[in-house]
A and B are shown apart, each in its own frame.
Chain A
Amino acid sequence: MADLTTNFAGIRSPNPFWLASAPPTNSAYQINKAFEYGWGGAVWKTIGDPVLNVSNRYGQFQYAGNRLIAINNVELISDRPIEVNLKEIREIKKLWPDRAVIVSAMVSSNEQAWKTVVQQIEDTGADGIELNYGCPHGMSERGMGAAVGQVPEYCEMITGWVTSAASIPVIVKLTPNVTNIVPPAHAALNAGANGISLINTINSIAGVDVDNFEIFPNVGGKGSHGGYAGPAVRPIALHMLSAIASDPKYQDQPVPISGMGGVETWRDAAEFLLLGATSIQVCTAVMHYGFRIIHELCDGLSNWLDEKGATSIEQVIGGSVPRISAYGDFDLSFRTVATIDEDKCIQCNLCYVACDEGAHQCIDLTADGVRIDPAVYEGSATLQPVVREDDCVGCDLCSLVCPVENCITMVERPAKFPSVTWNELVRTRPDVTTDWDAMVAYRKEVGIEIH
């Protein structure tokens, strides 16, 4: 069984799974229970200036009968007095010395306020501090949270105040509500952050009630943007993680990353690890199913590591980072085509309509082996989709819509022209990249046909 123990900038935990700073980490009662279930660590719900909360606080995004594909919240930071939180943090750390106890903090943007809260947190014996630069609602209007995270200069300044005062590791939690996640990450690195965590929640409105025009979540007839989290945000989180993990400055000056955003299963966690995360934070899945999911998170991750022949988590962290590339460096001659296994095909014809109307018109419908036009076909044969392989551009849409396991597969075929990247073309044949006549001539020259 693989070793799941995690060392994040000196913060140790028996497994990489930490509860994210959120409603599940609101109290000692919850965190104690979570640790009994086996969670490796917890980031205490953000402590800071006084707040009042509202109801309703949460809205959900449902899709095709599945609940909580994502959750939207307008809940603020901890509404419990800071002294109560500090007392409970101290008790929890004493009870659970082997678990990672990290405290999220967010105070007014002045140096003294931050230094005070750093001291208060260190006095509890907590293992680390997470700076909440991400909260997109309620706090940002008061110049905190995302209002800091969206401005790299503020981010760097405040992080500097904290790192100069703190003796325990400082983790900067980044907001995804920016066009480019890298500059705020640079700001954190410049200011000496010991770790980065991402993503916080994304600005969103959960939905609109089409009967009474109210907005979800509905607060006394009014609605507002809230923070969006859960499985639906995972691809966005993975992208932002990859943007930092592949950034040259980050690679020169790497710090551990705590990845989060829609992690619900061991497989999700494995994806974050492969893109460079050292620890994994979880919130929405716990809000949906409870702390008990930790069993399967650890079990599944451990079985996967064993299957891969890895004896520890470190061996897989960043395993996919070398593959992070960009369009300009893709091999333009790499070629795949769709193949349909007619024995498995159930003739739903979703691939046909997707290809014919949504993509590149290279799947035909056939009746008894003869291509037909469904608009005029009057026979009663069961229509069988067939790929015209020479025309297939290898877009993969058909296999994505196919409901049958292993029925449509994308198969690699020999390239039809010599390997070349766009960046190489820009360098060697700049006319081809700027002039359509040159492009057409180039295609003819190397044998690229687009039907």
Chain B
Amino acid sequence: MPHQEVTLAQLQDSFSETYPRYTKNEATVEANRCLYCFDAPCITACPTSIDVPTFIRQIANDNLLGAATTILESNLIGHSCGRVCPVDELCVGACVLGAEHRPIAIGRLQRYATDHVFDTGAQVFEPAPPTGKRVAVVGAGPAGLSAAGELAKRGVHATVFERNELPGGLSTYGIVVLREPTNVSLEEVEFIKGLGVDVRTNVEVGVDVTHQELIDGYDAVIIAAGTGPVPPLGVPGEELEGVIEALPFIAATKIADKDGREGLLSIPVGNEVIVVGAGNTAVDAATVAKRLGAERVTMLYRRSRAEMTAYDFEVDFVRGEGVDIRLLTQPIEVLGENGKVTGVRCVRMRLGLPDESGRRRPEPVPGSEFVLPADQVIKAIGQEKLSALFEGFGVESISGYVKVNEELRTSNPKVFAAGDCVRLTGQALTVTAAEDGKIVARAVARQLGVAEPAPQPGATRGRFLHATVNDIRRIHG
């Protein structure tokens, strides 16, 4: 195992967050560059409409509690989003300073503000008086937590059922440690729980609790279960030892990160690793393999760069890691000896006419087969849908996604759905899941006759939602 030559200290270092936290000076200088635009495009570009200029001004003014409050008011998952959002595609991409200078580093400033509050364990919002309404949420990922927290802000009690041991969904298990350390996700869960949300882990709906028990026992049910395991490649040799799935591979590094990173030493990684797929998860898996000590990591994708769903910054990053991306390359057989992987037989592809998805269909180039040596193959070719779960709730689905309207209502009037499990179109981002949580909470509250949170009277147009004096005293010691 090549990674045994890697020392724990090296692993500790290579699994630290890529961007260190800003110092106060860095944050102040960056925050003061913000023009504080009126009707700023960064707000519009944010799927959760965070009032970016206001929170940046609050950082400039050294009102970090205020800054974090502004962020979390619009996005309860803001602690993760400051790290994982593809900001160049969203707020930073919209920053007016980008046109003639360097745009503001909005993600890093967001993180600076939320880190400050999460470091201290402050509860930013006052729990609302209980309405007596109860909602079940299936899945403790970003969408489920956002929905549960938003309901709590309206006095609706939410119970979140999570089949995994740890809550947080992909933030806990799926986002590479370099971008989001595991404890960031777990802190975020604690913050949501602090709003009065009940999170029950190791409970699988359909196994430990029935669908009907949720439908009967709660005033509404929100499905926020994400997606399922990676589908088979469907090629010979897939059963060989050394063929693994990307998400459990990444998850192992996340668990090791939570427990002090010593566990990184015992994660099996090959010397010549092939990652099949070219999405965000494939990029993360390739990065993890490289950092665990793989000598050579190659990503295979059967289409061209234009069809890749990974962002430019991710592709640049993974290439910078030394990962080779072989485009227009399709694996057709996993080769092995003595039951273990030794290589992947591939065929070159070319793009033909567009298929039903509008993308040009890849076709094998006859006679172009070749073999890449490998001792580990990581599958990262999308995720299966959780059809059985949806059927258990008696909701209609389309192409394996729950069918919802713009309010995220399903065909069952008592059941709603949010997050990746409804993401038939559009990008499955943490921030869109967070926004789904807001939308679905609003719809559920409306259905249950629960009022929207009342704007605070007086001075601030309802924008003050404060920690208690004791919380603030705790923060500042």
Residues of A in contact with B (beta carbons under 8 Å apart): 1-2, 4, 14-15, 36-38, 40, 265-267, 289-290, 292-296, 298-300, 302-304, 306-307, 309, 311, 403-405
Contacts and interface: CB of A to CB of B under 8 A. Distances in A.
B426 interface: no
A293 B63 CA distance: 13
Contacts of A38: 458-461
A40 B63 CA distance: 21
A266 B58 CA distance: 10
A15 B461 CA distance: 13
Contacts of B58: 296, 299-300
5 contacts: A296-B63, A299-B69, A300-B58, A300-B63, A307-B475
B256 to A, nearest CB: 31
* Chain B residues touching A, range: 20 to 34
A15 B459 contact: yes
B38 A290 contact: yes
Contacts of A1: 464, 466, 469
Nearest to A404: B25
A-B pairs with the 6 shortest C-beta distances? A300-B63, A405-B25, A38-B459, A306-B472, A299-B66, A265-B61
B62 interface: yes
Query: Do most interface residues of chain A lie in helix, strand or loop, or is the interface mixed?
Result: helix
Nearest to B466: A1
Given A295-B463, A296-B63, A405-B23, 14 more contacts: A2-B469, A14-B459, A265-B61, A266-B63, A296-B54, A296-B58, A299-B58, A300-B66, A302-B464, A303-B65, A304-B63, A309-B473, A403-B25, A405-B25
B21 interface: no
Contact of B61 (A4, A296, A311, A403): A296
Contact of B461 (A2, A36, A266, A300): A36
B57 interface: yes
B36 interface: yes
Contacts of A292: 38, 54
B32 to A, nearest CB: 8
Contact of B459 (A4, A289, A303): A4
A254 to B, nearest CB: 27
Interface of B: 23-25, 36, 38, 54, 57-58, 60-63, 65-66, 69, 458-461, 463-464, 466, 469, 472-473, 475-476
A14 B463 CA distance: 15
Contacts of A306: 469, 472-473
A58 to B, nearest CB: 19
Contacts of A267: 61-62
Contacts of B464: 1, 298-299, 302
Contact of B57 (A14, A40, A296, A405): A296
A96 to B, nearest CB: 12
The interface centre, meaning the residue of B23, B36, B459, B464 with most chain A CB atoms within 10 A of its CB, is: B459
B459 A40 contact: yes
A63 to B, nearest CB: 13
Contacts of B36: 289
Nearest to B25: A405
The interface centre, meaning the residue of A266, A267, A295, A403 with most chain B CB atoms within 10 A of its CB, is: A295
Contact of B472 (A14, A307, A403): A307
B438 to A, nearest CB: 21
B54 A295 contact: yes
A296 B66 contact: yes
Contacts of A405: 23-25
A444 to B, nearest CB: 44
A300 B458 CA distance: 16
Contacts of A14: 458-459
B66 A303 contact: yes
B174 to A, nearest CB: 35
B413 to A, nearest CB: 39
A294 B466 contact: no
Nearest to B60: A265
A38 B54 CA distance: 15
B136 to A, nearest CB: 34
